[in-house]
């Protein structure tokens, strides 16, 4: 045992020289992570950099080949998640672990229910939860069912779960991936409150802005190796991304000025019913997308963007309105007809719509064109050899990486490569109109840079691109025109070159609206 010095005492948890080897891959190679008491410590790294493995080691899910873990300077053995829990380590997972049909209260006490003679004592639990909720500014309704509340409140429930168990070390795994911009701000505030109260926070992320905004220090991993730890106050976004990716990353999107051409998509007075409430999710929306331009639908999540795209692609029926595509009325066309006509759709949820996860990569690559003569014979049998060579071409051309190439199950691929596969499939159709919905959601900077380049290339080749995005950075840099959606209506049209994030925010929150004024002008003309 090494002598414990006073200096080390200030660390809540230390992982020293952790090495974890899987057959054929060193997932963690001599990694050191030191979390000070009361700090917010960011753990930065691309997909596959070894963040998850390191956390699994901390939770006792894996035993490292080398290295020690220390809590408050004392070496500890963590054999399983219960050990981690006993040491006061708690985690909010990226995908919440909540029982949908239970109330917030029931979820929080699940597993540590206070009982008396075998009967639940919910009153005590409720008091403790309300106390915690007040102390840290975690607004929840303890009696609401999980399935009825917003993602933000679900996350607050997860945080309360950790606090209810008196955890001192809180791990947040990509906590902002599912949140709206406002919810992100709220979460940041909550994290600051927690650290002020002496909780130590480990914040796993690859969003540099958020790390810059909230973290005190940041440790960077790359391809299983420990790159270094920096004080966030003394570093820059560029510096961090260089540490993460190993090269300089372009944040600016380069594109030449281009005059848009013919109208490709013309939408008039489109309304789509909502599945959640009685009002329409999309109300009387009209806009155009021309060839050679990227139009971005900006807005806070849940303002009708999803339904608008469902309506445009034919997944949901329209309530009213017409859609003209290259002058042809496709209002009542089927999904398949629209796809064959040259509309490609990169869906919002790649697991729900974009991929058949249990199919191989090659079978996913032909999802939009399996019925074409190239892949299906006249007798209705699949031409396997053609499918393989087609998939291999796309894999090479779009640099889709996977364990076993074309036969890899889509489920086993990383998120970034799954998205690349979808992009390859959709772009290879040579679409005249590309509808890309949150195409960079949950991806690391390298992949985001790649996808933005593809979108711009699509535009430069003279095709129309309709981008739906929730990320302010993306909205400000990628498109040629911004349409802001608020409560199912388009409330503003902005030029990304002249507008500011503040102005955009005002439209997104419904405080400003420049469309009524324009409509009035048109009428007078």
Partner 1 sequence: MNKESILKKPAVQALLSSLACIVLGLFAGFIVLTFIDARGAASALFDIIRNFFRYPSAPVALKYFGNTIVKTAPLLMCSLSILFAYKVGLFNIGVAGQYAFGTGLALFAALHWQLPWIVCILLACVGASLLGAISGFLKSYCNVNEVISGIMLNWLSLYTTNMMLTVVKETTSPYTKNIVNVNHSALLPNIGLDKLFNNNQYVTVAIPLAIVLSILVWFVLEKTKFGYELKATGFNKHAAKYCGMKEKRNTILTLIIAGALAGLGAAMFYLTGYEQWQCTQSSVPGMGFNGIAAAFLGGLHPIGAIFSSLFIQHITEGGAYVDKTLYCSQISDLISSIIIYLCGFVLFMKLALNKWLAKRDEAGSSKDAAGTGKGGRS
Q: Shortest CA distance to 402 belongs to which of 141, 115, 47?
A: 47
Residues 93 and 173: beta-carbon distance below 8 Å? yes
CB nearer partner 1, residue 9 or residue 22: 22
> Whole-angstrom Cα distance, residue 170 to residue 163?
9
Q: In the bound complex, what is the minimum distance in angstroms from residue 270's beta carbon to partner 1?
A: 20
CB nearer partner 1, residue 151 or residue 357: 357
CB nearer partner 1, residue 16 or residue 506: 16
CB nearer partner 1, residue 87 or residue 355: 355
Which residue in this structure is represented by tokens 């004080």?
Answer: 231
Residues 91 and 59: beta-carbon distance below 8 Å? yes
Q: In the bound complex, what is the minimum distance in angstroms from residue 437's beta carbon to partner 1?
A: 11
Q: In the bound complex, what is the minimum distance in angstroms from residue 488's beta carbon to partner 1?
A: 22
**Contacting positions for partner 1 (CB under 8 A):** 19, 21-23, 62-63, 65-66, 313, 315, 334-337, 339, 345, 347, 352-359, 363, 367-368, 370-371, 376, 380-382
CB nearer partner 1, residue 222 or residue 350: 350
Q: In the bound complex, what is the minimum distance in angstroms from residue 65's beta carbon to partner 1?
A: 4
Annotate 159-196 with DSSP letters as a single string.
Answer: HHHHHHTT-SEEEEESTTTT--HHHHHHHHHHHHHHHH
476 Cα distance to chain centroid: 18
Q: Shortest CA distance to 313 belongs to which of 435, 421, 430?
A: 435
Q: In the bound complex, what is the minimum distance in angstroms from residue 292's beta carbon to partner 1?
A: 27
CB nearer partner 1, residue 382 or residue 501: 382
What sign results for the dihedral spanned by CA atoms 253, 258, 259, 262?
A: negative
CB nearer partner 1, residue 381 or residue 498: 381
Q: In the bound complex, what is the minimum distance in angstroms from residue 348's beta carbon to partner 1?
A: 11
H/E stretch holding 127 = helix 122-136
Q: In the bound complex, what is the minimum distance in angstroms from residue 366's beta carbon to partner 1?
A: 8
Query: Which stretches of 432-480 are assigned E, i.e. beta strand?
Result: 433-437, 464-469
Q: In the bound complex, what is the minimum distance in angstroms from residue 1's beta carbon to partner 1?
A: 19
CB nearer partner 1, residue 212 or residue 333: 333
Q: Shortest CA distance to 340 belongs to which of 370, 319, 305?
A: 370
> Whole-angstrom Cα distance, residue 388 to residue 61?
37
Q: In the bound complex, what is the minimum distance in angstroms from residue 453's beta carbon to partner 1?
A: 25
CB nearer partner 1, residue 166 or residue 337: 337
Q: Are β-strands 294-298 and 320-325 bridged in parallel, bridged antiparallel, or unpaired?
A: unpaired
Residues in the chain: 525
Under DSSP, is residue 473 helix (H, G, I), strand (E, B) or coil?
Answer: helix
End-to-end CA distance of the chain: 84
């Amino acid at each position: 045992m090494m002598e414990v010095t006073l200096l080390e005492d200030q660390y809540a948890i230390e992982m020293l020289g952790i090495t974890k080897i899987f057959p054929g891959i060193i997932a963690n190679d001599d990694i050191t992570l030191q979390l000070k008491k009361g700090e917010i410590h960011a753990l930065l790294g691309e997909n596959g950099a070894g963040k998850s493995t390191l956390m699994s080691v901390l939770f006792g899910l894996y035993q490292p080949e080398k290295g020690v873990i220390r809590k408050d300077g004392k070496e500890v053995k963590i054999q399983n998640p219960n050990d981690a829990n006993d040491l006061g380590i708690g985690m909010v997972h990226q995908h919440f672990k909540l029982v949908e049909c239970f109330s917030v209260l029931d979820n929080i006490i699940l597993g540590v229910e206070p009982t008396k003679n075998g009967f639940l004592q919910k009153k005590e639990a409720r008091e403790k939860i309300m106390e915690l909720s007040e102390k840290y500014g975690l607004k929840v309704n303890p009696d609401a069912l999980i399935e009825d509340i917003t993602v933000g409140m679900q996350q607050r429930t997860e945080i309360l779960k950790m606090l209810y168990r008196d955890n001192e070390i809180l791990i947040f795994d990509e906590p902002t991936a599912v949140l709206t911009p406002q919810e992100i701000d709220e979460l940041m505030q909550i994290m600051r409150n927690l650290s002020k109260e002496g909780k130590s926070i480990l914040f796993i992320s690859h969003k540099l802005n958020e790390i810059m905004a909230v973290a005190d220090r940041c440790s960077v991993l790359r391809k299983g190796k420990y790159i270094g730890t920096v004080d966030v106050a003394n570093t820059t976004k560029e510096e961090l991304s260089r540490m993460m990716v190993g090269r300089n990353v372009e944040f600016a999107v380069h594109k030449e000025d281009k005059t848009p051409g013919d109208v490709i998509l013309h939408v008039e007075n489109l309304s789509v019913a909502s599945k959640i409430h009685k009002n329409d999710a999309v109300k009387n929306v009209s806009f155009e997308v021309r060839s050679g331009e990227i139009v971005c639908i900006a807005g806070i999540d849940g303002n009708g963007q999803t339904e608008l795209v469902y309506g445009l692609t034919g997944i949901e029926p329209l309530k009213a309105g017409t859609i003209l595509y290259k002058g042809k009325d496709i209002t009542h066309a089927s999904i398949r007809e629209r796809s064959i006509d040259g509309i490609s759709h990169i869906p919002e949820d790649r697991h729900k719509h974009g991929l058949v996860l249990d199919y191989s990569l090659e079978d996913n690559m032909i999802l939009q064109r399996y019925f074409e003569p190239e892949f299906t014979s006249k007798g209705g049998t699949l031409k396997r050899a053609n499918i393989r060579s087609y998939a291999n071409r796309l894999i090479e051309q779009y640099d889709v990486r996977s364990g076993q190439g074309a036969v890899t199950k889509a489920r086993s691929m990383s998120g970034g490569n799954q998205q690349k596969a979808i992009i390859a499939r959709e772009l290879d159709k040579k679409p005249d109109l590309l509808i890309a919905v949150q195409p960079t959601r949950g991806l690391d900077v390298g992949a985001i840079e790649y996808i933005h380049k593809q979108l711009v290339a699509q535009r430069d080749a003279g095709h129309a691109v309709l981008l739906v995005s929730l990320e302010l950075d993306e909205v400000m840099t990628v498109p040629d025109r911004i349409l802001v959606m608020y409560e199912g209506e388009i409330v503003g049209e902005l030029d990304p070159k002249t507008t500011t994030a503040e102005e955009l925010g005002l439209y997104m929150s419904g405080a400003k609206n420049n469309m009524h004024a324009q409509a009035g002008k048109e009428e007078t003309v």
